[in-house]
Structure formats: C-alpha cells, structure tokens
C-alpha cells in the first residue's frame, strides 16, 4: 500500500506528498527490508526534475 500511495502521489505530480508518505510510514514493521529498493527509487524520482509521464511534455 505504501508503494501504491507513493506512486499515486507521483502520478498526480505531487512529489512532496510522495516524500511525506514515506516519512510518515518509516516505522512500519519490515518496511525497509521488503521495500527498501523501490522506496529508494521512488524517492530519487521525487527528487529529480524528470516528469512523471513523458506524454505530458
């Protein structure tokens, strides 16, 4: 659910919300173990200037 929420925020163009969702849920059990790689990717995406969808250029 965390990854889906972060993807939804990124899809809506709200990069700050994606970061906030991650920060709000850092204390969930096993979150780093199971989703560390995808969370890192999504946070890097949120930190970049890359548009969410190339069709929106």
pLDDT score, position 17: 94
pLDDT score, position 27: 76
Residue 13 DSSP SS3: coil
Q: Would you say residue 56 has pLDDT above 70?
A: no
* pLDDT tens per residue across span 3-55: 889 889 988 889 899 999 988 887 776 666 677 788 888 888 888 877 666 55
Please state the pTM of the whole predicted model. Answer: 0.69
pLDDT score, position 53: 61
pLDDT score, position 20: 94
């Amino acid at each position: 659910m965390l990854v889906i929420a972060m993807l939804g925020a990124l899809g809506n163009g709200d990069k700050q919300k994606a970061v906030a969702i991650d920060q709000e849920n850092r204390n969930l059990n096993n979150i780093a173990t199971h989703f560390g790689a995808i969370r890192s990717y999504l946070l890097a995406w949120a930190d970049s200037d890359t548009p969410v969808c190339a069709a929106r250029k």
